[in-house]
Amino acid sequence: MFLQSLTLENFRCYERAELDFRPGLNVVLGPNASGKTTILEAIYLLATTTSARGGRARTMVRHGQSWGRVTGRFVVDGRELTLRTTLGDPSGDRSGAKTLEIDGREVASAREIIGRVQAILFWVGELDVVKGSPAERRHFLNAALGQMSARYLDDLARYRRALRQRNEVLKGMAHRGGDGRMLAPWTHSLVESGVPITIDRRDYLAALAPEAAALHERLGVGAEGLSVRYEPSVVNSQADGELADEFYRALEETHRRELDRRSTQVGPHRDDMLLEIDGVDLRRFGSQGQQRTAALALKLAQARVALARTEQQPILLLDDCLSELDPARGAAMLDLSRDHEQMIVTSACCPEHLADRLADAHLIGSGADDATCEPCEGKE
């Protein structure tokens, strides 16, 4: 799949912009604060219906305006597909509304959109996957699996609800006493939704790990082996049928502690991923460059797994990577674009040492600027 064109209206710094894209390598060029990241954010919004930067949808509306809109024309399986997200209400009635459209038809739920277009975004926030808290790594897993499976998102919603309710009961028990019977329905629903989440995460990481290791090697750091492993809160013995029993047992074993702490101590909300380079824990001991390369390898691996599972080649959105990677890694990253139907990269400038690799790329100017940059001009 690939993006053909993008129209931004009242979206962050853009009053109105129409941008064309091509299959293959696209480079969005422009100085700082010219709206490069905003373009990737807009594409990500169309694909996932959410902002990669977090926060309320309204913050994406251009300051001083009551509504904003992003429209993207994609080609999926050889067919055109137009996705449109409107934030706020152009007629001024419903300022908090978010309207989603597919080919001009309004859809009631984000579920109808998610998965139609797969976009994988690598941006500065992605480093948190490596160096941030376990919650960041769970977020990575949730976003990756959620883009491919609405069922996973349903399980996650049921799990979060059960966890919230169960923790409420635990708090009540700490105040007023009570017995385990009050917990039972929430324990049941916690296990029921938690087991498929654990299995999905385990299988996903089993598929992701070898891809991430191979891509990490191709990014020019062959001497360093990247290993990615699931660290589930409820350890399971491979036999899926036993996982529920193990979860119940782990909850029983931690019952004293959960009463003391008034919160559920085991379950997928405590999962983590172990990331190692040559046996050293990257989360705590990795250099910036190592962490960045590993995060990039994870993202690119996410695209590979999505391709294998959905038979769709996701659009790769890479924000500001070129300036951060050393020349060899930057070149290796651009070379990977040959494996992808479409890669959209942003950069404040195209570095001179990459000029030959960028010569065939489609250059797009962000903001009011033309896509020009001396090394590229020199090439022409």
Ligand X SMILES: Nc1ncnc2c1ncn2[C@@H]1O[C@H](COP(=O)(O)OP(=O)(O)OP(=O)(O)O)[C@@H](O)[C@H]1O
Give me the residues that bind ligand X (CB under 6 A), please. Answer: 12-13, 30, 32-38, 59, 61-63, 320, 348, 366
- Beta strands 315-318 and 342-347 are parallel
- Say which residue the tokens 């691996």 belong to: 301
Query: Length of the chain, please?
Result: 380
Give the sign of the dihedral formed by CA 290, CA 47, CA 317, CA 346.
negative
With contacts defined by CB under 5 A, name the span among 35-43, 86-94, 163-171, 210-218 that binds Mg ion. 35-43
Whose CA is closest to 208, among 225, 180, 227, 231? Answer: 227
Treating both helix axes as pointing N-terminal to C-terminal, what angle do 288-310 and 327-335 enclose, rounded to 10 degrees?
10
> Which is closer to Mg ion, CB of 37 or CB of 236?
37
Residues 12/77, Cβ–Cβ less than 8 Å: no
Q: Which residues of 230-262 are buried (b: 16+ CB within 10 A; e: fewer)?
A: bebbbebeeeeeebbebbeebbeebeeebeeee
Q: Nearest distance from residue 346's CB to ligand X, in Å?
A: 6
Q: Nearest distance from residue 13's CB to ligand X, in Å?
A: 3
Q: Nearest distance from residue 303's CB to ligand X, in Å?
A: 22
> Which is closer to Mg ion, CB of 36 or CB of 138?
36
Q: Nearest distance from residue 152's CB to Mg ion, in Å?
A: 30
With contacts defined by CB under 5 A, name the span among 18-26, 36-44, 47-55, 180-188 that binds Mg ion. 36-44
Rg (CA), the chain: 23
Quote the CA–CA distance of 283 and 241 in Å, as a whole number. 32
> Which is closer to ligand X, CB of 56 or CB of 94?
56
Pick what 368 binds: ligand X, Mg ion, none; C-beta below 5 to 8 Å, kind-dependent.
none
Pick what 237 binds: ligand X, Mg ion, none; C-beta below 5 to 8 Å, kind-dependent.
none
Q: Which residues pair with 114 in a beta bridge?
A: 117
Pick what 30 binds: ligand X, Mg ion, none; C-beta below 5 to 8 Å, kind-dependent.
ligand X
Q: What is the largest CA-CA distance in the chain?
A: 77
Pick what 154 binds: Mg ion, ligand X, none; C-beta below 5 to 8 Å, kind-dependent.
none
Residue of 26, 34, 37, 86 that binds Mg ion (CB under 5 A): 37
Residue 38 contacts Mg ion per CB under 5 A: no
Pick what 63 binds: Mg ion, ligand X, none; C-beta below 5 to 8 Å, kind-dependent.
ligand X
Which stretches of the chain bind Mg ion, using CB under 5 A? 36-37
